[in-house]
Amino acid sequence: MSNVLEVKNIEKYYGNKSNLTKAIDGISFNVGEGEFVGIMGASGSGKTTLLNCISTIDRVTAGNIIINNQDITKLKGNKLNKFRREELGFIFQDFNLLDTLTTYENIALALTIQKINPHEIDKRIKEVAEKLDISEILNKYPYQISGGQKQRVASARAIITNPKMVLADEPTRSIRFEVSKTIIRNI
């Protein structure tokens, strides 16, 4: 089995010399193709920071992160944007849905950025919405739906582009357990 993710001795510091916080201290691990990995730890232990570094939201202070044989810690500018857009899906713990867009438009946004044909966008959204049981809310705005529905919309947005890797920060926090099992089984 080949590795899709290699995290090599990464460190992440916040602040400056007089007030330095080490959020990640020399973490290394590999994830093989097809593996599902969970990261557990106390609140404030660096779980979200680690995910943010892997997803290129944050940059590491030291070390390397290699995804599909590409060292993402060396990517910048348009190459980094292209990598993020084409290779990764991310489910944020606070949803990050745009309030001025319908749930359909929130999901479509990732495909629109990739300049996918509108007919293909519609087809993909309908397929993923059916899998995640959100078809009936596609015309609603985020403020009109429940927390669990928001989380499923955020999940749909993360997987709609068929990314090579999906990073999820507490993806089932707002979803009832029965639905969480269904999502994991159907994707």
**What stretch of H or E contains 111?**
helix 103-113
Q: What is the pLDDT of residues 20-30, one digit of tens each?
A: 989 999 999 99
Determine the pLDDT at residue 31: 92
User: By three-state DSSP, how is residue 40 classified?
Assistant: coil
CB count within 10 Å of CB 81 equals 13
Domains 1-74 and 78-187 agree in fold: yes
Q: Which residues of the chain have pLDDT under 70?
A: 171-187
Instruction: Decide which of 3.40.50.300, 3.40.50.880, 3.40.640.10, 3.30.470.20 is the CATH code for 1-74.
Output: 3.40.50.300
Domain residue extents for the chain: 1-74, 78-187
In the DSSP assignment, the letter for residue 69 is T
Query: What pLDDT sits at residue 172?
Result: 61
Res 179: pLDDT: 46
Q: What is d(CA 111, CA 161) in angstroms, rounded to the nearest whole number?
A: 6
Cα separation, 99 vs 22, in Å, equals: 34
pLDDT digits (tens, 9 = 90+) for 30-71: 999 888 888 888 888 888 899 999 999 999 999 999 998 999
SS3 156: helix
Q: Parallel, antiparallel, or unpaired for β 165-168 and 88-91?
A: parallel
Q: What's the CATH superfamily of 78-187?
A: P-loop containing nucleotide triphosphate hydrolases (3.40.50.300)
pLDDT at 143: 96
Gyration radius from the chain CA atoms = 17
Q: Which two three-digit tokens encode residue 171?
A: 């993806």
